[in-house]
Amino acid sequence: MQAHPYAVWLSLAALAAAIAAQVAWRRRRATAGRPLFGLLLASAVWAATYALTWINTDQADQVFWLNATYFGVVVIPLALLVFTLQYTGKGGWLTRRRLTLLAIQPILTFLVVWSNPLHHWFHASFLQMELGGYMVLGWTRGPWFWFNVVYSYGFLLVAFVLLVREMAQVPPGFRSQIRMIVIAFIWPWVASIITQFGLNPWPELDLTPIAFSLTGILMLYGLYFHRLLDLVPVARSQVLENMQDGVLVLDLQRRVVDMNPAAMAMLGVERQQALGQPVEAAFVHFPEALEIFVGKGTAQEVVCLSGNPDRYIDVRLSRLEDQAGRRLGYLVVGRDITDAHLREEELRKANQRLQGQFKEIQTLQVELREQAIRDPLTGLHNRRFLDEALLPIFETAVSNQQPVSMVMVDLDHFKNLNDEHGHHAGDLVLQQLAQLLMRFSRGGDVVCRYGGEEILAVLPGVGAEVAARRVEEWRAAWAGLMIEHAGQRLQNTFSAGVAAFPAHGDNSDDVLRAADRALYVAKDEGRNRVSVAGGERR
């Protein structure tokens, strides 16, 4: 055993990588957490086993621990590539089959290293020498060693390019995070190049595992202070290409500079056909959609794209500006709302149908109401309506101290009319009387068929004297009316009794009885006359 200074450096590098790996393991469920853990653990294994190479003095032991470094060495390039793909949102590309194919070379390299005494493809020869009082193991590279270097550098180069491209596309808040990752992984790469191409001031020492100590420190810093793995940028291409909303980017001349697959599907055009074209030329088949693009800075409209079937798109046009407020172009986002529009249209039609049905029901209700309160023969109100109307009429009369007159009208000799000319003639006479009374009544008067040939008129605000004069006009007009029936001219008269509130009663029942008594007085005195309650006759 020997306490070589290089072993101390390598042990510190292994410790830094191991601590970073432990922290990454706690974040293993985050995006790219597992490959980062694998990468840092492999770095710790590499540095630790390489430190043991410098501690041992026996050549066989030194060769063993040198070979053991490849437990970590072959894992690092693949782990870095997997980490980068997942971190930049391209993890979907890494299928199980592709991962298996990428892992074939590292597995073969590991097998070649441990079977090296049989073929010397990896280490062509070993030579132990004494330098500065320490036993140092030297070796020459075989062809597979250089093949592995090229293969590993290829992985590192792809990862580096992906990270740099991502840094150019992500929002500014994520750029410092990606920049730190690039710096963390570029040091081991540079250290490996210095070592492999003879630029190392300590030619017997591989600087790569020591450089990983800086990687571990930077990753620890990123995990704790930059929320590495907690906030992971998603690639613009992944977001834009997988959006279900159509996206168009126009320059200041309203030429198409970019569009995603959803926009191509909505408009039925290919990206290459539309790119660089003014919107008027690119979407000439959709004049409905063009209206929102031309001559407007911002807009939101629903446009109909004709087709089979038609589609409805909610289109929003907004300006694109840089951080300084300089206008760069326009962003157009279209969302297919066909299903929602059709549902809304169905609801609108259903609502219209319901409104129509509701109006029909209201009309039927009015008709039923009229049928319920109207006499079917004469069209006058019936007793049911009278019962409902009297209470508010008399309540108003009491509160306003106004009179209310009630007039009971009865056709004279109506039975004789029916017997001589038939019931149809009697019905016709009743109808004509009803029409005459309705012509002579005011808007607030209530005229109803009280029963048989009796008709009751309620005159709000009218006293008995005035009511008697009005009824006298009715009587005279009715007496002079000639009714044509079956080639004959019929003529009839009526008798009427008039009573009023409050002169002849304190309520509707009392006034009605007084009017009925006055009617009988008119009939007893010879009919075809108007009698007022209390004996006054006209």
pLDDT of residue 538: 41
The CA distance from 507 to 357, in Å, is 43
Tokens of 457: 């008129």
What is the bridge-based pairing of β-strands 530-532 and 494-501? parallel
pTM for this entry: 0.50
Average pLDDT over residues 386-409: 94
Q: How far is CA 202 from CA 44, 141, 196, 198, 380, in A?
A: 21, 17, 12, 9, 124
pLDDT of residue 400: 93
pLDDT of residue 203: 62
Which class for 116: exposed (0-12), middle (13-18), buried (19 or more C-beta within 10 A)? buried
Of 135 and 180, the one with more pLDDT: 135
Of 361 and 211, the one with more pLDDT: 361
pLDDT of residue 284: 62
pLDDT of residue 536: 43
In 3-state terms, what secondary structure has residue 211? helix
CB 398 within 8 A of CB 472: no
Of 493 and 213, the one with more pLDDT: 493
Inform me whether the pLDDT recorded for 235 exceeds 60: no
pLDDT of residue 515: 96
Q: How many CB atoms lie within 10 A of CB 163?
A: 20
Nearest to 450 by CA among 394, 499, 410: 410
Q: How many Cα neighbours within 13 Å face the side chain of 410?
A: 21
The label of the residue with tokens 């070592």 reads 195
DSSP β-bridge partners for residue 28: none
pLDDT of residue 294: 58
Average pLDDT over residues 71-99: 87
Question: How confident is residue 289, by pLDDT bands cut at 50, 70 and 90?
Answer: low
Please give, one letter per residue, the 3-state secondary structure of 121-137: CCEEEEEEEEECCEEEE
CB 156 within 8 A of CB 189: yes
Question: How confident is residue 431, by pLDDT bands cut at 50, 70 and 90?
Answer: very high
Average pLDDT over residues 142-148: 92
| pLDDT tens track for 265-283 | 877 778 777 777 877 776 6
Q: Starting from the edge strand earliest in sequence, which strands make up the sheet with 311-321, in order?
A: 256-259, 246-250, 327-336, 311-321, 299-305
Give CATH for domain 383-532: 3.30.70.270
Give CATH for domain 5-225: 1.20.1070.10
According to CATH, the superfamily of the domain at 243-336 is: PAS domain (3.30.450.20)
> Of the ranges 109-118, 276-285, 436-445, 500-509, which one carries the lowest mean pLDDT score?
276-285
The label of the residue with tokens 């980017």 reads 249
Average pLDDT over residues 203-208: 69
Q: How many Cα neighbours within 13 Å face the side chain of 353?
A: 6
CB 256 within 8 A of CB 277: yes
| pLDDT tens track for 435-477 | 999 999 998 999 999 988 999 999 999 999 999 999 999 999 9
Question: How confident is residue 202, by pLDDT bands cut at 50, 70 and 90?
Answer: low
pLDDT of residue 537: 37
Mean pLDDT of the chain: 84
Domain locations in the chain as residue ranges: 5-225, 243-336, 383-532
| pLDDT tens track for 365-375 | 877 777 788 89
Most confident region among 19-33, 154-168, 320-334, 479-493 by mean pLDDT: 479-493
